[in-house]
C-alpha cells in the first residue's frame, strides 16, 4: 500500500545539545483530538517535502525555521505512523517568530527530558519520541 507522506519537525532549542522539544496538541479530527504530535502535515502532490514542511510550520505555528538533520526512520528512511501515512521528520530550530497554536492545535508545550512522556503522544509517534529521548539532555 502506498502511504501518504506527512512531513513534520522535531523543533528543539539547539541543534548541538538539545534540551527541549516542542510538542503540539491536535484539535481535529475527533478521533485524535487531544493527542500530541510533531507539527507538520501532508505534502501536496509534487511538492518538495522540505518546502511542504516550511509551509506547514508557517501555517500552523507562525514561524520560520532552520532545518537540521533528518531523523531517519526504519521504514525506508521514514516512520510509518498509521495505516495510511508515513512520516518524514527533521530536526528544526525557530529562526523567526514565536510558535503559537494557530490552526490544527490548541496547545504547544516545550518538553524537557523529564517531561517528555507527560503528554499523550499519538500512537505512531511513540517510537519516534523514544528515539529522540536519547538525544535530549
Ligand X SMILES: Nc1nc2c([nH]c(=O)n2[C@H]2C[C@H](O)[C@@H](COP(=O)(O)OP(=O)(O)OP(=O)(O)O)O2)c(=O)[nH]1
Distance CA 51, CA 28 (A): 23
Using the contact rule CB under 6 A, the part of the chain among 35-43, 70-78, 107-115, 129-137 near ligand X is: 35-43
- The answer to whether residue 91 forms part of the interface with ligand X (CB under 6 A) is no
Distance CA 21, CA 128 (A): 12
Compute, in degrees rounded to 10, the torsion defined by CA atoms 79, 108, 14, 59. 70
List phi, psi (to 5°) of 71.
-90, 95
- The answer to whether residue 62 forms part of the interface with ligand X (CB under 6 A) is no
Could you tell me the smallest distance in angstroms from the CB atom of residue 4 to ligand X? 8
- The answer to whether residue 61 forms part of the interface with ligand X (CB under 6 A) is no
The answer to whether the CB of 13 falls within 8 A of the CB of 93 is yes
Q: Which is nearer to ligand X, 17 or 42 (CB)?
A: 42
Site residues for ligand X per CB under 6 A: 6, 8, 37-38, 40-42, 81-82, 85, 87, 104, 122, 124-125
Amino acid at each position: 500500500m502506498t502511504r501518504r507522506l506527512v512531513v513534520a519537525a522535531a523543533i528543539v532549542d539547539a541543534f548541538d545539545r538539545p534540551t527541549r522539544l516542542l510538542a503540539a496538541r491536535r484539535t481535529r479530527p475527533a478521533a485524535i483530538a487531544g493527542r500530541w504530535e510533531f507539527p507538520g502535515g501532508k505534502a501536496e502532490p509534487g511538492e518538495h517535502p522540505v518546502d511542504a514542511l516550511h509551509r506547514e510550520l508557517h501555517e500552523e505555528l507562525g514561524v520560520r525555521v532552520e532545518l537540521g538533520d533528518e531523523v531517519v526512520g526504519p521504514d525506508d528512511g521514514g516512520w510509518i505512523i498509521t495505516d495510511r501515512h508515513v512520516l518524514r521528520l527533521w530536526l528544526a530550530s525557530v529562526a523567526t517568530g514565536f510558535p503559537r497554536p494557530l490552526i490544527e492545535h490548541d496547545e504547544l508545550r516545550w518538553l524537557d527530558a523529564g517531561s517528555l512522556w507527560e503528554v499523550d503522544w499519538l500512537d505512531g509517534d511513540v517510537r519516534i519520541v523514544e528515539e529522540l529521548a536519547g538525544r535530549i539532555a
